[in-house]
Amino acid sequence: MIHKMNSDTEKTKKLLTATHRRKERERFHRQQQILKAAEKVFAKKGFQGATIQEIALEAELAVGTIYNFFPSKDRLYSMILTSRLDEMREEVQSHIQPIKDIKERLRTMLLSQCEFIEKNRNFFIIFFRDQYRFPWTLAQDLGEEVAVRYERYLGTLREIFKEGIKKKVFKPLAPEDLAEAWGSLCNTFFFKWLMEKSKWPLKSKAMTVYEIFMQGVEK
């Protein structure tokens, strides 16, 4: 009798665990559905012009369902931005981690960023176009979120330059300064390409940026 009770208890636990996992998967997929729809609407209307009603219509969900996942349009936009930045970091890291050569790692990092920005061009255009029109509270929250992620990016660059200096690939300059200089140069390059809505591939001129930088720091 005791053995049967224990067996029934274990079956119940497994059933509850399976049900919980299924609900978590369903919730995740629904969240992704909302984010995908919201990104489309933001790309068409901009942050100010987009409404939760339009996002719900695009996602084919009730407005109340959107609010069950995201309490405001601000939070929804913030989630899209941070998700995109995290996705870009993961993609870049996956490309550069196996590479031993320092210069090739830096070059691959730039090319990977270019590929990601090209694939998500509409989103990044909207972000750069609308960021100065955000409500103050959203601008503050996004600023903090972006700052954390940009610091991680600079941290990766600092490690590359530290190793390069140690191996005498780069001049013995401060890794922090090199990371900031590289980041600023790349961001200016990305911003210009996005704002001019250039038709040429971003990657096609990435090597120009790389060569300009390397001429100043390569030993």
pLDDT-based confidence at 7, cuts 50/70/90?
Answer: low
Would you state the pLDDT for residue 133?
58
Q: What is the pLDDT of residues 73-126, one digit of tens each?
A: 888 988 888 888 899 999 999 999 999 999 999 999 999 999 999 988 877 877
Q: Which amino acid, 131? A: Q
Q: What is the pLDDT of residues 116-170, one digit of tens each?
A: 999 888 778 777 776 655 555 555 666 677 778 888 999 999 999 999 999 999 9
CATH topology of domain 73-219: Tetracycline Repressor; domain 2 (1.10.357)
Long-range contacts of 122-129 (CB under 8 A, 24+ apart): 122/43, 123/39, 123/42, 123/43, 123/80, 123/84, 124/190, 124/194, 125/43, 125/194, 125/195, 125/197, 126/42, 126/43, 126/46, 126/47, 127/81, 128/191, 128/194, 128/195, 129/46, 129/195
Q: What is the mean pLDDT of the chain?
A: 85
CATH topology of domain 1-70: Arc Repressor Mutant, subunit A (1.10.10)
Domain regions of the chain by residue span: 1-70, 73-219
Q: What is the pLDDT of residues 88-100, one digit of tens each?
A: 999 999 999 999 9
Given a cut of 80, whether residue 20 has pLDDT beyond it is no
